[in-house]
Amino acid sequence: MTARPPVLILAIGNPSRGDDALGPMLLERVERACAAQVAAGELELQTDFQLQIEHALDLTGRERVIFVDASVRAEPPFRFDRVLPRADGSVSTHAVSPAALLDVHRQIAGEPPEAWVLAIRGERFELGEPLSATAAAHLDAAERHLVAAVRSPR
């Protein structure tokens, strides 16, 4: 079995729901900006509409995971916070938080990797809406921060 890239960025969001597209859009930008790290096997990028219990298995063998999502509560333009395992969410496939996912990983596979959440402030989440101008500006700031974090030595 081939070793997994040590860093995983897992972006959550629905591209058809206005600012909920922030996570997937950021991942597209990071993929271009960090193509060398991806090609070298240092970074893996994943996107999904929501966190699923099955994502706990994607954390195995990683040193660090960064969850990216839109948020209505984050301070503008974004928050970048450490997250620790905590049994605080449903174990169904809906409304699973990053902290609950880390707890599931701990239960089934051992100690989870270092984890961070990049919550980008959004304001409009209606189906069929485009990205708001405010969220677009927040996306630019989040991209600069995340690319620098991925490229910087630990």
Examine the pLDDT at 90 and tell me if it is beyond 90: no
pTM of the model: 0.91
Which candidate, 129, 6, 105, 7, places its Cα nearest to that of 52? 105
In a domain, 2, yes or no: no
CATH number at residue 124: 3.40.50.1450
In a domain, 102, yes or no: yes
Quote the radius of gyration of the chain (alpha carbons, Å): 15
Report, as an integer, the average pLDDT of 31-51.
95
Show the domain range for 99.
7-151
How do residues 65-89 score in pLDDT, each as one tens digit?
A: 999 999 999 999 999 999 988 865 5
Which candidate, 75, 77, 145, 137, places its Cα nearest to that of 116? 145
How do residues 129-152 score in pLDDT, each as one tens digit?
A: 999 999 999 999 999 999 999 988
Q: Which backbone phi and psi does 50 adopt, to 5 degrees?
A: -160, 160
Element (H, E) at 8: strand 7-12
Domains held by the chain: number: 1
| 10 touches 59 (CB < 8 A) | no
In a domain, 53, yes or no: yes
In a domain, 1, yes or no: no
